Amino acid sequence: MNAGRSRSPESGRRGRTGFVAAVAGAVVLTALTAPPAQAAPTGLAVTDVVVNKGKPIVVGTSDIKQPPITFRITFPPGYTTEKPLMYDAYPFLYHGTTAAKGERGGLRVGGWVCYETVARSARCEGTMFIDPRYDLDANNDATKWKIGLALRLYKTDGQLKAEEFKTAPGTVQLKRWAKATVNASPEPVKKGKKLTVTGKLTRADWTKHKYTGVAGSARLQFRKKGSSAYATVKTVKSNSAGALKTTVTASADGYWRWTHNGSSTTGPATSTADFVDVR
């Protein structure tokens, strides 16, 4: 079995380091510095690429995300997982350019392990490595990313023999992490009186690397004390700064929260609950 490429977070999206280590009959690889491209067929094939189990990847402003990835490698004659220094074959994510150009600034696999299931065919599993501090520098990165494939063969002296870049079927959606807050007042409140519920809806800003307000719809939900289910009371739109505000009639002790479904570029968000004592 063999495993694959990773980057040093300190070096950002363009940094690459490498090592090779044997573990329990496996070979663990990380990214080696790529030599100048020599476009030529390699005979390598990377197929069946699935990132994050087909679900969108939601990323904040600082926490590293490591969503799972699986794929399969097929080798040309004379190549095998037992000779890991003789080839490179791995997927990456890119957008807005060709696969050859996208590999340099794309999102890489942090590490992977491959198990050769039949002759010259291996099943691989690992994780992506996404550090928003280095890998995401614009909010338009919240889009559908293409799946690129980097394929390389090496000579016995370590020199590059052939290299090619391809695009695999499918895309991977990246979304900006969202947050919601809530505050209900006054507390306590008399039964039948008005209760004001405020909050704020924010999402990751990959340009400023902080959370900023976002205009969008949020549902105000209530869970009566002793109940386990929330019910939507009304839907409210936040302003451009993300502020939410509405009034309701207090009828019973219970918990109030805001929840946001997200969008094509923004992940969902649900606030913590604010308990209000109704007297």
End-to-end CA distance of the chain: 66
Tens of pLDDT, residue by residue over 40-98, are 799 999 999 999 999 999 999 999 999 999 999 999 999 988 889 999 999 999 997 89
Q: What b/e readout covers 124-146, taking b as 16+ CB neighbours within 10 angstroms?
A: bebbbbbbbebbbeebebbbebb
How distant, in Å, are the alpha carbons of 29, 69, 77, 100, 127 from that of 152? 14, 20, 14, 12, 21
d(CA 73, CA 51): 15
* DSSP per position, 147-213: EEEEEEEE-TTS-EEEEEEEEEEEEEEEEE-EEEEEEEESSSB-TTSEEEEEEEEEEEETTTTEEEE
> Would you identify the CATH topology of the domain 178-276?
Immunoglobulin-like (2.60.40)
Say how far apart CA 220 and CA 202 lie, in whole Å. 16
- Residue 212 forms beta bridges with which residues? 203
- In this prediction, residue 3 carries a pLDDT of 43
Q: What is the pLDDT of residue 239?
A: 97
Question: Tell me, what DSSP letter sits at residue 138?
Answer: S
For the chain, residues with pLDDT lower than 50 are 1-38
Could you tell me where in the chain the CATH 2.60.40.730 domains are found?
178-276
User: What is the model's pLDDT at position 97?
Assistant: 84
pTM above threshold 0.85: no
At 135, which helix (H) or strand (E)?
helix 132-135
Q: Is residue 54 helix, strand or coil?
A: helix
What does the pLDDT read at residue 96? 79
Q: What is the pLDDT of residues 24-42, one digit of tens each?
A: 233 333 333 344 444 579 9
Residue 99 φ/ψ, nearest 5 degrees: -60, -40
Q: What is the pLDDT of residue 192?
A: 96
